[in-house]
Chains A and B, each alone.
Chain A
Amino acid sequence: MKEIKVFHNAIKDVPAIASKIKENQKKIIGTLCSYAPEELIYAAGFHPMRLFSSKSDIVLAEQHLQAYCCSLVRGVLEDSLSGQLDFLYGTVFPHTCDSIQRLSDIWRMNGRYEFFADVVLPAKVNTQSARTYMVDVLTKFKKDLETAAGREITDTDLRDSIKKFNLIRKNLSKIYALQSKKPGIIKGADLYAIVKGSMVMDRDEVADLLPAIVANLEKMDAPEKCGKRIVVSGSICDSPDIYTAIEAAGGVIVGDDLCTGQRWFEGEVLNDGNPVNAIATRYMDRIICPAKHSSPTARGENMISLARKNRADGVIFMLLKFCDPHAFDYPYLKEFLEKEGIKNLLIEMDDQQQNLGQLSTRFETFIHYI
């Protein structure tokens, strides 16, 4: 499909995307978490770009972060220090985990970019006072963006932006739903490229491309042979090869619980009333990330419903080494799944380097066994 090709080509060369965006007189604001309010950034006339590690060797970041820090945080810092992210106008750090929290300080103290913002959202999303605080923080961020942009963000700007992001999210959800209904109509590596592209590419372009992909997929028949239905869970999975390896082992990815997947794009912002409140509402209602709290069992319940809804044969946890929030949840999520009779596998990975051969063997064994 030619639209999918566009995504593949784009994510292969992020700096090229960046220079194209800058040619269009847009400044780029890097983000590191699915709680970064992209709608606000876009409405201010900036381009929100999720940062991934380029997986370069860690040399400069060694001087700032110990080896027991997750590879995503070290990798992104390396890219910044080595000048690979010099296309950035600035960054925004929503509060996530302890590692991102300190990355924010280190980033600010070694500042290379013009714009910097901490968006310290609440850690709990189940109380009225947390909601009020969330709205306060988002409002303040909006002001910071206005100052940077030298213009006001009007409600119309925000509504247009929300509309754009809702459209992107809705179409991504549709693609996932179609894949779950007709497993295998889209390759894992394609899915990966589309989602990643939607986080880094020009959003107007993304919004144009996605509906065409959906329309195409709707017309397609389900492949005759269907592999074992797999749901993946974790923080980020920034490697198309892993998706391919799962498929080669006889699996098909029918859903995910990733920061760079459904957790990021599920849920719509209601576009009536005060737009900032509406953005906050989505964050309050959204499936939580493990660094946030709504109830002690929220993620477990969500995991079960996700697995059931997608009729998963198995769940693969792909956790980044040294990632505390996810590592804390793993034993209980596993227990919840086992109570439901859903088989699962834990893979501990390093975003920087992966031993694909070994991974493939583990996938094969697991998929054979389910």
Chain B
Amino acid sequence: MSKSEWKKLELRIDPDTKEKLFFSDHEWDTIEAAAARVIPTDRDPGAREARVIVFIDRYLSGINYLYATADGSGFLRLEGEEARAARARNNDFKRMYREGVLALDALAVQRGEKDFASADEATQDLVFVEISGAPKPSHVRLDEHAVFYSRLQGNTDTGKSFFETLCLHVRQGFYSDPVYGGNKDQMAWKVIGFPGPKSLKDTMDGSYTTEPYFAETWDWSELLLDYDPSAICIYPTCTCPSKTTKEGNQCQISKRS
């Protein structure tokens, strides 16, 4: 069946749900605690309040919550080869998370804890440092400098370690449209000041706009250098490759030397 004909599943995610579709009770508690270290609670809500655990549980439960319908009233029912491929990836993620929980617990136990979820935050952060193989990330400061180089990095969630995948999923669960189970009541958008749409449907029918956040007024003559509304060369006889010329004479409109 073509992607264009995928039907709608009448599914909704309640961020306050107690129902677990994938995680065991222990796995739920562990990943909820881990998510709270990825995006902690401070003066602003973090992953715990935003119900990221629900987002991740639903995502791992199968392929029914992969794509919301465009208007957000349900989810798309994948078919055919796309469903097969998505299910295979989903199975890999299920296994990755199950093993990831065991790994977090093992590292906590090594530190004398009963498990990861019951350890204090400082210990949980130490476990993160160990499992990630890197120090706890430091702040992006205005008084530092670094250069970067482009590299092959996809935007999908495959091909990464458990820890990198967890951090990515927590971020996605925190900031995605609430239809996916996280970002409860748009609280994450409020943390960063993103004026998001009330619903996905609003982005389709013209009721959502970001126009108030553009410049209010403007004058191109003030904003731009060398702007001359009349200066359009319309001479097809121009043969000079680098500058426009006007019938052999130096072009009046070419203002650069």
Do A and B truly interact?
no
